[in-house]
Amino acid sequence: MAYESTNPYNGKTVKKFDELTDAQLETKIAAAAKTYETWKRTPYAERAAIVAKAAELMHAHVDKFAHLASLEMGKLINEARGEVNFSANILAYYAKNGERFLAPTKLHPTVGTAHMESSPIGVIFCVEPWNFPFYQLARVAGPHMMAGNVVMVKHAGCVPQCAMAFEQLWIDAGAPVGLYTNLLISHQQSDKVIDDTRIKGVALTGSVAAGRSIAARAGKNLKVSSMELGGSDAFIVLEDADLEKTIPWAVWGRMFNAGQTCCAAKRFIVVDEIADKFLEKFKTALSALKPGDPMDEKTTHGPLSTESALVDLLKQVDGAVAHGAKVVMGGKRIDRPGSFMQTTILADVKPDNPAFRDEFFGPVAMFFRVKDEDEAIALANDSDFGLGGSVFTKDVARGKRVASRVETGMMFINNIDWSDAELPFGGIKYSGYGRELGDMGIQEFVNKKLVRESDVPAPVV
């Protein structure tokens, strides 16, 4: 695969990078394995000092990191700054709480004493996507390195400078060589890394296809893995919703990061009583977004990450229309330089339309009318995905009842605010397995060891 920075705002390639040779890759794996032998015995306080320093440096150089994200994948500069700060907050969170999360847990057997203790397992190989080029890295690096593991990362080919900057961050923070390693490698080399006996765990954030491939490879090698895959989250609007509060969340939920978010709002399921009013306000709000240079703070509609991402999305929309979907607005590329897609709403997407089960990774919303709450929940659950979802209603108790009935890993009531280091993130069904962030995120790649003491005679044979 190619590693190159191409600015999606103007299509110009900035810089290309060579993949590692097999010999270079071996040197890096050997260094990581050697570092693990000392890092696993490093006290929490010393680990925390390095992780906290990395957080401090991210906060101090927000604009530098944000600029790279805008340059390489077109993220709006204000959103990029927000991502960098959030990434730094994640690192600081685990530096502060890692030891507490992994403290021994006392058990209560009928005889003797017992406890569970947590210990690291080794080198963790992470495959990460381009859509949040720093956040995706922080949410594996922070917890797993605080747990005493070391991390090797194959980042996406279109954000190599972001990947290199994050690796340099750890060097600047005083990390030993091999604690965090960026790998510019091919898919074939990635398979070899998973097969390597020095690699003890595998984490992926990516597509369902990538998840199937990498989870199968990890499983073949009997290695623990976590998979954060796609989503087609429902945005449920009940008839008593406050549209003045709901519409801004609808726009943000679909258009944040140019719609390139796993847990974005993608299926807008609206009770018929309020559907016309919602749709009209939603169209008006989306129409107000202004495409432009993502480096310009006044721009509210950025490009997609790559030209190929735009082409694929346009094919998806055309395929949906060919199978009976109606274009309510948009549906085409914007006639300007760069990889820009019109804000798009599709309606009349029936269950026999391939789009009904697709994930649209960009500024494309599917709009559905339902007669009532029960039908909204049934439609929300009629999905191969189960990452997140939201429900909007003035009755919070009702919102909680709906949230409990929707089959996902995360549900939000009157918001889609998933950006909190303390909140576990992950899904079910084709959205993957395992959790990141919160106290659960640090538990994914540790050995939960039972230790029992009991002064009792052995059974008679």
From 218, 191, 201, select the one nearest 143 (Cα to Cα).
201
Please provide the DSSP assignment of 145-191 as one string: HHTT-EEEEE--TT-HHHHHHHHHHHHHTTPPTTSEEE----HHHHH
Distances (CA, A) of 137 to 71, 149, 371: 18, 15, 42
Cβ atoms within 10 Å of 461's Cβ, excluding its own: 3
332: tokens are: 């085409």
Distance, in Å, from the CA atom of 118 to the CA atom of 105, rounded to the nearest integer, reads 9
Instruction: Name, in order, each residue with C-beta under 8 angstroms of 164's C-beta and a sequence gap of 6 or more.
Output: 182
From the list 126, 158, 162, 262, the catalytic residue is 262
H/E run at residue 135: helix 135-146
From the list 228, 359, 373, 444, the catalytic residue is 228
DSSP state of 408: S
Active-site residue flag, 228 = yes
Distance, in Å, from the CA atom of 403 to the CA atom of 259, rounded to the nearest integer, reads 23
Give me the residues paired with residue 270 across strands.
237, 369
Distance of alpha carbon 139 from its chain centroid, rounded?
9
145: tokens are: 């390195």
Active-site residue flag, 56 = no
Where b means 16+ CB within 10 Å and e means fewer, 428-454 reads ebbbbbbbbbbebbbbbbbeeeeeeee
Active site (catalytic) residues: 228, 262
